[in-house]
Amino acid sequence: MRHPRRALLVPVVLLGTLGAPAGAGVPLAGAFVNVPLSVRQVGMGGIGVGPDDVLCGWSNPAVLGFSTGRGAIAVNGASLADGETGIGGGASWMIVPGAALAGLVSSYSESGTGVWAGGLALGFLAGDSLGAGLTVKGIADRAAQGTASALAVDVGLAASLEGFRGGLALRNAGRPLLNVPGVEAGREHVASEMRAEAVYTYARHRLSGGIDYSKLDGRNARIGVGAEWWPVSLLGIRTGITGAADEDWQYSAGLSVVFRRIGLDYAYASQPGGGSHRLALSCLFPGPAPAGERAAPARAEPAARKAARKTDEPASQPSAAAASPAVIDQMYQQAKDAYAAKRFAESRKWAQAVVSVDAQNWRAWALLGNSLYSLGDRPRAIGAYEHALAINPGNVKLRDWLNQLKTQK
């Protein structure tokens, strides 16, 4: 027997677009807790679209390790069919670069009954392009016959390399039991879930596309596909579709408006019982930039720029044929060292060499912009910063500096 209303239990905060009807073998809490929280994820067919959206950590805690800011906070609400509503939120903080801790909470209610879930998630980088994560959460399902509660654990992996991002997560591992007092057959497991996704970002046109796979115990596997486009750095548009073979496919659309550190996200998703609307407000706290990569470098003195133009030439120029990851890292380090020593012309040439063989390296594009700016070449610096921001649109500090630079006379 299917329960149409339970299909609308798309999470609170930035509810996911995956609220399929609950089957007889899948408890209400299990169905609810496995739906994505991120409003952006909802609008893109269930696919995560950025490490600085803290609510994406609900689907895979590993993405938190790729956060570029010092921290983030988000709150949201959902208006579902038949008057049901949801609320939720999340907050993260960077413990050290490459490791972030987040708290996430989600709640749904209808006529005195409902479900809430909350958890603590840790994501960290195990290398430059590989992240891992763990979430421990509690779940409570309130109903007329009593309250069921449980603990659950999520584990996840995520990778990012040359425009590609991928993730794999096992959610509700261990199949914890729910116990409803006074109900003889009240012991059920919170439905475990396997999630996988892959996303490719075409930086030149600020366009991302991806595919999402999820398999919940007791249900058929679901597939989601979606696309996101940022026509300008302040506005993002996305659309997606998700479903399973024996169910109606659900369509979604959304947009984001980002100004400085504040983001406003909206998503609409079709549901079996009617459409749902979701709205989220988030704030990102930018972290300190590494040495040599600051988004707002100080202006160099004219004499220093003149001397740099005349004397700062690299001893050798690497070729594209030598573009192994190790060589690219060495070239980038050469650019950083030259910039730190105020040899801006040398830094520019090394950074240019990196982006010529690794066009998705946003850090090298940002460093190239720093070098060009310090050499007094403001128009080309703006172009380099735009490349960096197109690859990493969540870098608020870089966006703020670019906007400031564009307004300078």
Tens-digit pLDDT string for the chain (409 aa): 223 222 222 222 222 323 333 333 444 555 667 778 899 999 999 998 766 789 999 999 999 988 767 889 999 998 876 667 888 899 999 888 788 999 999 887 766 567 888 999 999 988 768 899 999 998 887 665 666 777 889 999 999 876 788 999 999 886 655 555 554 444 455 778 899 999 988 766 678 899 999 998 777 889 999 999 988 878 899 999 998 877 778 899 999 998 878 899 999 998 776 788 999 999 988 654 433 344 444 444 444 444 444 444 444 444 444 456 667 777 888 899 889 888 888 899 999 888 888 888 889 999 999 999 888 888 888 889 988 888 888 787 888 888 888 776 5
Q: Could you list the beta-strand ranges (E) of 38-84.
A: 69-79
Secondary structure letter of residue 247 according to DSSP: S
pLDDT of residue 322: 42
Into which CATH architecture does domain 302-407 fall?
Alpha Horseshoe (1.25)
pLDDT of residue 311: 40
Per-residue tokens: 7: 């299909």
Rounded Cα distance between 220 and 245, Å, is 8
Rounded Cα distance between 190 and 121, Å, is 18
Rounded Cα distance between 372 and 291, Å, is 17
pLDDT of residue 183: 47
pLDDT of residue 111: 63
pLDDT of residue 74: 95
Q: What angle (nearest 5°) sits at the alpha carbon of residue 30, between those of residues 27 and 34?
A: 150
Determine contact, residues 333/339, Cβ cutoff 8 Å: no
Secondary structure letter of residue 8 according to DSSP: G
Q: Could you list the beta-strand ranges (E) of 111-234.
A: 113-125, 130-143, 146-161, 164-173, 177-178, 188-189, 193-202, 207-216, 222-232
pLDDT of residue 1: 28
Residue type, 200: Y
Determine contact, residues 119/101, Cβ cutoff 8 Å: no
Q: Identify the CA nearest to 374 among candidates 316, 314, 313, 292.
A: 292
Rounded Cα distance between 204 and 225, Å, is 21
Task: Report the predicted TM-score, pTM, of the whole model to 2 decimal places.
Answer: 0.66
pLDDT of residue 24: 37
pLDDT of residue 113: 67
CATH of domain 5-286: 2.40.160.60
Determine contact, residues 74/282, Cβ cutoff 8 Å: yes
Secondary structure letter of residue 127 according to DSSP: S
Q: Where in the chain is the domain with CATH 2.40.160.60?
A: 5-286
Q: Where in the chain is the domain with CATH 1.25.40.10?
A: 302-407
Cβ contacts of 312 within 8 Å, gap of 6 or more: 338, 343, 344, 345, 346, 347
